[in-house]
Amino acid sequence: MIKSRSIFGLVAAGCALGLACPQPSRAVVSDEDFNALKTLVQQMNGKLQSLEQTNLQDQRVIQQLQQKLTETQRTAVEAQQNSIATAQAQAAAPRVPLDEATVNHNFQILGDAEIQYNKTDHQNGAFLLADFAPIFLYRGGENILFEAGFDFGLQNNSPNGGGYTTTVNLSFAQLDYVLNDYLTLCAGDLVLPLGTYSERSAGWLNKFPDNPLAVDLVPGTGVGAELRGALPLGETGKLLNYSIYGVNGPGSANGTGNAGALDLGGNVGITSGGSTANTHGNLVGGARVAFFTPFKPHYDLEVGLSGQSGEWDDAGKHLWSAGVLDAALHLGANFEAKGEYIISRYGSDDLGQIHQQGWFLQAGYKLAGLNLNLPALNNLELVARYDSMRDGLGTHTRRYTAGYIYYLTSALLFEGDYEIIRSSDPAQPTSQFILQMSYGF
Amino acid sequence: MKKIHPQKNFVALTLAAVLVAGLISPLTFRVRAEEPKTTAPATTNSVTPSAVSPTASTSALHKKLTGAELYSIHCNRCHPERFPTERTAAQWKTIMLHMQVRAGIPGKQSRLILQYLQENSGR
């Protein structure tokens, strides 16, 4: 009995233990699933390796970018430092001029050019290059100016030769040094202030295509030195103009003291033989004083008196002297009248004292002053001139001139003149017709 | 009997007509001339310089002159007016030095004219 109980107990304990112990799990996986799972794991492993490689590459790129960023930052810092250094250097250096007007030196060309058609009685009409006259200006600083004017022209060669010759003349060449507001020192081949015509004779300044006869009685230029200037008289624009000069003066064309040998254009200081000499013993002196008064803009009067005197022949026995009274009047922007009275005296070996004189009076009126609504007429100016000259050697010439100026622009002029000439010299023409295109630049 | 030259008479009449017209014109058109005018610089190469020039006040000169007024007074003495826009500021500086010497303009007036020309120049 006891044995049965023991067996029963063991069985019961075994059952209890069997119930208490977890039952072992036992999954059932097929080969197909296992292979699929294996493939999947392999693929995932491949992707993982690929991602690792990509990650490595990205890391390298990031490192490179970081290096570049570092370099860029360094460059930016250097650039900033350079910029600061440059700005500091510029602040310390002299300021670069922004306006060309502040430049100390300047070269400039002015001048004029004229083309004519000229018909003189008993001669064939012809076109001619009347003048090409550039003026070169060189300014050095505030008060130094060198100015030189040239005249270019054309003329046929001799009758037995073909072609033509270009003539070039130095009209003037002078160095101007402005001493102060009232005085300037000039030296060189000077435009002489005997009257005002020689200083205002450029083609587009002169209202006529040719010069007044009487201006041939005085030299236009002379080699020497001059002091000139202007003194304002009050604040209303009135001026006193003055100049005083010394030049070599006139000379003798052939060395003699004969009346016909007077040469107003020579004696420039260097002889044809190359030696440096005045052809006569002493320099010649001259001066001009003038009063200018404006009544209001474009209304003014200028009156001047000038003269020159000195030896002219090589022996120094004879004096040549001249005096000029000049006047100019403006009544509005449309009317101008001016004139000069010129006398000269000089001694000679053969004819004794020679007395020369001449004068001219000219006037111009712009039809714009009529206030007509006719543009063609507004550009037109009527001009007239009377001039006369006695050369002291027996010739008396008078000339009457009437003409017009058509202003294509303020500096481009188309002029036409008809001249009637009365002269005791039979070789002189009796009439002349001139057309001229003139440009001032 | 004295011989009469028709051509000479024609020229003499022309000269007389120009003189008379010039003398009478300022009186005849005085009212129009005293109308206010612009002080602005004219355009380059204007055909009728006198009609459009930068003329300053036309009243009598009882006050201190400006550069524009001095420009009108001096430049027209010798040549048709040239306009500020025709040259640069540097060119005007050289040209005015030339004109100061050639036309006999006092230094102070020359500087006032230069200032006017440069302020209205072609740059």
Interface of A with B in 252-281 (CB under 8 A): none
Cα(A80)–Cα(A83) distance, integer angstroms: 5
pTM (whole model) above 0.90: no
Q: Are the CB atoms for A407 and A379 separated by under 8 Å?
A: yes
pLDDT beyond 50 at B46: no
Res. A279 pLDDT band, cuts 50 70 90: confident
Q: Are the CB atoms for B123 and B89 separated by under 8 Å?
A: yes
- Which domains, from first to last, does chain A contain? 173-440 (2.40.160.10)
How many angstroms from the chain centroid is the CA of residue B22?
Answer: 15
Domain boundaries, chain B: 1-35, 38-119
ipTM for the predicted complex comes to: 0.75
Q: Could you tell me which residue, B108 or A297, shows the higher pLDDT?
A: B108
Mean pLDDT of A204-209: 91
Interface of B with A in 23-82 (CB under 8 A): 23, 25-26, 29, 32-33, 45-51, 53, 55-65, 69-70, 72-73, 76-82
pLDDT value of position A79: 87
Instruction: Kindly provide the b/e burial profile for residues B68-104, where b requires at least 16 CB atoms within 10 angstroms of the residue's own CB.
Output: bbbbbbbbbbbbbbbbbbbbbbbbbbbbbbbbbbbbb
Chain mean pLDDT for chain A: 90
Q: Could you tell me which residue, B58 or A191, shows the higher pLDDT?
A: A191
pLDDT tens profile A124-183: 999 998 889 999 999 999 999 999 999 999 989 988 888 999 999 999 999 999 999 999
Contact B77 A337 (CB under 8 A): no
CA distances from A181 to A103, A188, A266, B73, B75 (A): 21, 21, 33, 18, 18
pLDDT value of position B56: 46
pLDDT beyond 60 at A95: no
Contact B26 A368 (CB under 8 A): no
pLDDT tens profile B84-95: 999 999 899 999
pLDDT tens profile A390-403: 999 999 999 999 99
Residue A81 half-sphere exposure, CB side, CA atoms within 13 Å? 6
